[in-house]
Amino acid sequence: MNKEYEVIIIGGGPAGLSAGLYTSRARLNSLLVERGMVGGQIVNAERVDNYPGFPEGISGFELGQLMHQQATKYGLKTIIAEATGIELRDEQKVVKTDEGNFTAKAVIIASGSERRKLGIPGEEKFMGKGVSYCATCDAAFFREVPVAVVGGGDAAITEALHLVKFASKVTVIHRRDQLRASRILQEKAFSEPKVQFLWNTIVDEIEGEDLVKRIKLREVKTGEKSALEVAGIFISIGLKPNTDYLKGILPLDPVGHIITNDKMETGIPGIFAAGDIRHDSARQAITAAGDGATATIYAEKFLS
């Protein structure tokens, strides 16, 4: 495989794929480095209704595939590999990956974010044995049993509303006293008799033998401890930017997002960032795609 490119794009979600479409159409020799599956976080969305051009909605999986197909048609190359760092060598940027090193004059970082974990005892051990991060994948294994959802955002409430079709009872556990989710989702959740809420509560531990049996809870204000019998716990507590491999290379905000200007330029000339990974991103597929296009237009200017 060729090791030298004009542009390397890290991450194959909407930001990286639209960057790839624009670089390929600009006839820049470009490589997309994707660690898992093209499409990024959006592949988990059962239906996307807010990406213009699809009035009937489209599955996130299909949207990702179509974006990749379109960029590939114009010559974008893709490698499945995980970026582990970027090294600056004169004018060149060396993108290090677990499948070898690749160099380019310009790099667009669009490696997005991944699901945040609770980091509590039992979470790793019971993964796939009652701990889940994908209600659309796993809800059907929890027929007529009680489950918990941890989180209070759009994703958590969407998961809870999907789970009521299967579970006997869905307890939403949220560390604050109100939801962050949009009004329309809140209204649906509050009027759903199977959904109950535990406010100001966090999960300390997940217990069981072979499978999850109960979770240990703590009220954050009073410190009062309790336990809840559940067969499943669905964790939906937001996203964490994938920038661990960039620490010490680029300026990051305290959460780990990349700081850019409105040309998607980072602190280093020739390195751009696009999508969820940016400090002030709106974290939507459509804004990510816009970022990718903007980054490419300024990357092209940088190269010429």
Partner 1 sequence: MNRPLAVGDSNFDEIVLQSKTPVLVDFWALWCRPCLVIAPILDELAEEYSGRVTIVRVDVDQNPKSAARYSIMAIPTLLIFKNGKPITNVVGAKRKQDLKKILDAALD
Among 111, 132, 171, 281, binds partner 1 (CB under 8 A): 132
Among positions 71-100, residues that touch partner 1 (CB under 8 A) are: 80, 98-99
Annotation says 138 is catalytic: yes
Q: From the centroid of its chain, how far is CA 297? A: 25
**In a 10 Å sphere around its CB, with 0-12 CB exposed, 13-18 middle and 19+ buried, how is residue 254 labelled?**
exposed
100 beta partners = 97, 98
Question: Exactly one of 49, 90, 98, 137 is catalytic; which is it?
Answer: 137
Give the span between the Cα atoms of 73 and 230, in whole angstroms. 48
Q: From the centroid of its chain, how far is CA 230? A: 27
Annotation says 177 is catalytic: no
Decide: is 141 part of the binding site for partner 1 (CB under 8 A): yes
By C-beta, is 61 or 199 nearer to partner 1? Answer: 61
Backbone angles phi and psi of 184, in degrees to 5: -65, -35
Single out the segment in contact with partner 1 by CB under 8 A; choices: 37-45, 66-74, 185-193, 235-243: 37-45
Annotation says 90 is catalytic: no
Among 25, 29, 54, 59, binds partner 1 (CB under 8 A): 59
Give the span between the Cα atoms of 36 and 83, in whole angstroms. 11
Q: Say how many residues touch partner 1, by CB under 8 A.
A: 27
Give the span between the Cα atoms of 110 and 179, in whole angstroms. 29
Q: Which residues are catalytic?
A: 134, 137-138
What is the binding site for partner 1 (CB under 8 A)? 35-37, 43-44, 46, 59-61, 80, 98-99, 127-130, 132, 134, 136-138, 140-142, 210-211, 232
